[in-house]
A and B are shown apart, each in its own frame.
Chain A
Amino acid sequence: MLAFSKRNALEILRDPLNLFFGLGFPIILLLLLSAIQANIPVALFEIGRLAPGIAVFGLSFMTLFSATLIARDRGTSFLQRLYTTPLTARDFILGYLLPILPIGLSQSVICYVAAALLGLRVTVRLLPAILFTLPVALLFIALGLLCGSIFTDKQVGGICGALLTNLTAWLSGIWFDLKLVGDAFQKIANLLPFVHAVELERSALLGDYASAFRNFWWVLGYAVIITFLAVLAFLRQMKKQ
């Protein structure tokens, strides 16, 4: 399983587009919005509120990475070749999920380091904030496993690259206050995990652990359910192959 995990990590890290969207793009957003904030102060874009949002938004690209990798493997005979080896279904699922977690974690660390350089106060609270990105990363990676097991690599580009990243952005309260759109929008957003992921990070950074854990259970619940669905979808396509 380790050899397969290593291969998956290398495939992701060697794709320059992944590096740009995974690392470069969130940092560019952080710089851009901080520059705007310096000229026209907006409470939402203060670095303490902005950095957790960007950390979560950056993790939404993990869905694109994992879904593209799996869909591409399914589109060639590569997976079929591996299905004839002693690797088990468990090896495949963990082999896809696990190597992307440290990539997500590293991305969050880089995001917070960039935020610190832009004025975020460096306190011990950064540590739990970074650790709390793990369930968020799992949620997005599992979404990728689910989409990659169902859609082709071309479909994945549109669904995970455009639709999901936009949904994450709109329904998370990173870019605008959800109250501004109305009660119905806010209620829908609150039923989904994205806003809870951002609030989890913001609360952890403020040291408000009661709020952090309220949001943590939402995120973890979604992560577990989506992981379960992703495993079912992967096993189904494995059987079909």
Chain B
Amino acid sequence: MDAIKTLGLTKKYKNLTAVDSLDLSVRQGELVALLGVNGAGKTTTIKMLTGLTRPTSGDALLNGKSVLTDLPAVKKMIAVSPQETAVAPGLTVKENLRLMAGVHSLPGDTGRVARLIDRFDLHEVADKRAGKLSGGWQRRLSIAMALVTDPQILFLDEPTLGLDVLARRRLWDMISALKGKMTVILTTHYMEEAETLSDRVAVMKSGRLLLTGTAEELKRQTGTEKFDEAFLRIVKEV
């Protein structure tokens, strides 16, 4: 069974079609990068897959559960790390992790929080308030918060946006370590990030899915040597 299967997934806002009949399948444990220029429909797609917005037509099945008819079951198996910082600023790093455990009715004082602090190397800031941390630390915490529940499907919306090279590389290592353990959908504007991290990429433009494949396949299809050139050719030609 596919981890994610969208069936003609469509979202319209008055005269604008943000996502147009999207048919996309993602296998269990796969990391798929959703690429596209601004307004391609990536964020709207994630919003529909996570139940934040209801599709105008079509459906999406997450591990067989429909976002239209079985949203509570979908919410139990997913986690999201949004594009902007999404932490409680007045709480410490530990308290933020416990909060996420609490809202999922999981005990926050078992080994769960300690394991995440280890895994994301958050020891030195564990007792600091999240609002006082740098952007890199906050982003790291934000992803750790998404992993508190050991989700089956993880959505990372522009996880390294605005970070310096060092912080970005550090996050890449952390995201790479998730591969195979859970299904990950990643949106990014950094081509190098998509090429390095993803098993497959899906390119969107004006709400439509243009192509899916590995970075190598896309380079071959477009006859280019670099992945960012392949991406540009795809979005310019169609």
Q: What is A's interface to B at a CB cutoff of 8 Å?
A: 2-4, 6-7, 10-11, 14-15, 76-78, 80-87, 241
Contacts and interface: CB of A to CB of B under 8 A. Distances in A.
A3 B75 contact: no
A83 B103 contact: no
Interface of B: 50-52, 72, 75-76, 78-91, 95, 98-105, 108, 129, 145-146
Given A10-B91, A86-B76, A86-B104, A81 B86 contact: yes
Nearest to B83: A77
Contacts of A10: 90-91, 95
A238 to B, nearest CB: 10
A11 B87 CA distance: 12
Contacts of B81: 81
B52 A78 contact: no
22 contacts: A3-B99, A3-B108, A6-B99, A7-B88, A7-B99, A10-B95, A11-B88, A11-B91, A77-B83, A77-B85, A77-B86, A78-B87, A80-B86, A81-B81, A81-B82, A83-B51, A84-B52, A84-B78, A84-B80, A85-B104, A86-B103, A241-B52
Contacts of A80: 52, 80, 82, 86
A83 B90 contact: no
A76 B76 contact: no
Given A6-B99, A81-B146, A86-B105, 12 more contacts: A6-B102, A7-B88, A7-B99, A10-B95, A14-B90, A76-B85, A76-B86, A83-B51, A84-B51, A84-B80, A87-B103, A241-B52
Contacts of B91: 7, 10-11
A65 to B, nearest CB: 12
A4 B72 CA distance: 18
A11 B52 contact: no
B126 to A, nearest CB: 16
Contacts of B76: 86
A76 B201 CA distance: 28
Contacts of A7: 88, 91, 95, 99
A11 B95 CA distance: 11
Contacts of A241: 52
A226 to B, nearest CB: 26
A81 B80 contact: yes
Contacts of A87: 103
Nearest to A78: B86
A-B pairs with lowest CB-CB distance, top 8: A3-B102, A77-B82, A77-B86, A11-B90, A81-B86, A77-B84, A84-B50, A14-B90
A81 B129 CA distance: 19
B79 A86 contact: no
A80 B80 CA distance: 9
Nearest to A4: B103
Contact of B102 (A2, A76, A77): A2
